[in-house]
Amino acid sequence: MQRRRFVLGTALPAAARGLRLAGALGLAAEPLLARAQFRVDVSGIGARQIPVLIDTFAGQSACPQPLADIIRADLMRSGQFRVTPAASSPTLGDAGPPAYAQWRSEQLEAAGGGSVEPAGPQTWQIRFRLWDAVGQRDLGGLALRVLTGDLRLAAHRIADFIYQKLTGQRGVFATRIAFVGKSGRNNFTLLVADSDGYNPLAALHSREPLMSPAWAPDGANLAYVSFETGKPVVFVQNVRTGGRRAVANFRGSNSAPAFSPDGRTLAVVLTMGAASQIFTVPVGGGAARPVIRASSIATEPVFAPDGKSLYFVSDRDGSPQIYQAGLDGSNVRRITFAGTYNVSPAISPDGKSLAFVSRQGNDYQLWLQDLQGGSTRALGDGPDDGHPSFAPNGQILVYAAREGGAQVLRTVSVDGSVRTTLAARGEDVREPSWGPWTTPA
pLDDT tens string, the chain, 441 residues long: the values are 333 344 333 333 333 333 333 333 343 344 443 344 555 666 665 557 899 999 999 999 999 999 999 999 999 999 999 998 765 544 565 556 788 988 988 899 999 999 999 999 999 999 999 999 999 999 999 999 999 999 999 999 999 999 999 999 999 999 999 999 998 888 999 999 999 999 999 999 999 999 999 999 999 999 999 999 999 999 999 999 999 999 999 999 999 999 999 999 999 999 987 789 999 999 998 999 999 888 899 999 999 999 999 999 999 999 999 999 999 999 999 999 988 999 999 999 999 999 999 999 999 999 999 999 999 999 998 899 999 999 999 999 999 999 888 899 999 999 988 889 886 666 899 999 999 999 887
pLDDT at 309: 98
Helix and strand counts by DSSP (H, E) for the chain: 4, 32
Whether residue 415 lies inside any domain: the answer is: yes
Q: What pLDDT does residue 427 have?
A: 85
Q: What is the CATH number of the domain that holds 238?
A: 2.120.10.30
239 and 159 assigned to the same domain: no
Q: What is the pLDDT of residue 94?
A: 54
Residues 293 and 348 placed together within one structural domain of the fold: yes
Nearest C-alpha neighbor of 189 from the set 15, 436, 434, 429: 429
Cα separation of 419 and 410, whole Å? Answer: 7
Q: Tell me which of 167, 185, 217 is where a domain ends.
A: 167
CB 165 within 8 A of CB 157: no
Of 143, 167, 191, which residue is a domain's last? Answer: 167
**Per-residue model confidence (pLDDT) at position 64:** 97
Same domain, 6 and 135: no
The C-alpha atoms of residue 308 and residue 131 are separated, in whole angstroms, by 43
Instruction: Find out whether 260 and 223 touch, Cβ atoms under 8 Å.
Output: no
Burial class (CB in 10 A: 0-12, 13-18, 19+), 284: exposed
In a domain, 180, yes or no: yes
Q: Does residue 214 sit in the same domain as residue 269?
A: yes
Residue 92 lies in a domain: yes
The reply to whether 156 and 182 lie within a common domain is: no
Sheet of strand 210-215, all strands in order from the earlier edge strand to the far edge: 210-215, 221-226, 233-238, 244-248
Number of domains in the chain: 2
Domain assignment present for residue 254? The answer is yes
Sign, CA dihedral 404-405-411-412, equals positive
Is 250 part of a structural domain of the chain?
yes
Is residue 439 situated within a structural domain?
A: no
Q: What CATH number is attached to the domain comprising 121?
A: 3.40.50.10070
Question: Is residue 136 domain-shared with residue 248, that is, in the same domain?
Answer: no
* Cβ 344 vs Cβ 300: under 8 Å: yes
| Domain co-membership, 337 together with 412 | yes
| Residues 329 and 200 reside in one and the same domain | yes
153 and 64 both lie in a single domain: yes
Give residues with Cβ within 8 angstroms of 184, minimum separation 6.
Answer: none
Parent domain of 62: 43-167
User: For residue 407, what are the contacts with CB-CB under 8 A and spacing of at least 6?
Assistant: 182, 400, 401, 428, 429, 430
Indicate the SS3 state at residue 280.
strand
pLDDT value, residue 175? 97
Residue 395 sits at the vertex; the CA angle it makes with 393 and 396, to the nearest 5 degrees, is 110
Q: What CA–CA distance (Å, rounded) separates 55 from 67? A: 10
Are 133 and 275 contained in the same domain? Answer: no
CA distance 378 to 60: 40
State whether 257 and 381 are in the same domain. yes
**242, 240, 247: which is closest to 264 by C-alpha?**
247
Strands 110-120 and 50-54, sheet pairing = parallel
Q: What is the DSSP string of 380-400?
A: ---SB-EEEEE-TTSSEEEEE
Q: pTM of whole model > 0.95?
A: no
**441 occurs within a structural domain:** no
Which residue, of 113, 139, 167, is where some domain finishes? Answer: 167
The pLDDT score that the predictor gives to residue 293 is 81
Element (H, E) at 36: none
Q: With beta carbons less than 8 A apart as the criterion, state whether 292 and 271 touch.
A: no
- Is 256 inside any structural domain? yes
Backbone CA torsion sign across 277, 278, 280, 283: positive
253 shares a domain with 312: yes
CA 132 to chain centre: 30
